[in-house]
Amino acid sequence: MQTNLAFESNKFKRAIMTRHAHKRSAQRGFTRDSVELIRTFGERSYDGQGGIRCLMTRAAVERLGCVLGRSQRLEALAGSYVVLSADDDAVVITASHRYQ
């Protein structure tokens, strides 16, 4: 089965990044595309402070690998997360890596 990776669903709007999110993404090595992938495939949970955290767990990376194919760049997203506004999940507040 072939898929059209250039297709954009009407269900998801392109992310709007706050100034803080732009700054943190640049500092932490996130590209615009990686933020979109984390936002789309990450496991969502409320952070208790008015945001929604999208975390790239191992299972999320596996799902992403099934869609785009496995690569080291995708595997490197494991443990990364973005925080979205609870009011509008198209607004990215920040991006970071989970450190254990």
What region, left, alpha or beta, does residue 5 occupy, with left being phi > 0 and alpha being psi -120 to 50 degrees? Answer: alpha
Task: Read off the pLDDT of residues 40-96 as tens digits, 9 standing for 90 and up.
Answer: 999 999 988 989 999 999 999 999 999 988 889 889 999 999 999 999 889 999 999
- pTM value > 0.85: no
Hunting for tokens 């595997």 — which residue is that? Answer: 75
Distance CA 15, CA 1 (A): 28
Q: What are the φ/ψ torsions at residue 85 (nearest 5 degrees)?
A: -70, 135
Q: How many CB atoms lie within 10 A of CB 35?
A: 20
Task: Read off the pLDDT of residues 3-48 as tens digits, 9 standing for 90 and up.
Answer: 445 444 445 678 899 999 999 999 999 999 999 999 999 999 998 8
* Domain locations along the chain: 31-97
Confidence of residue 99 (pLDDT cuts 50, 70, 90): confident
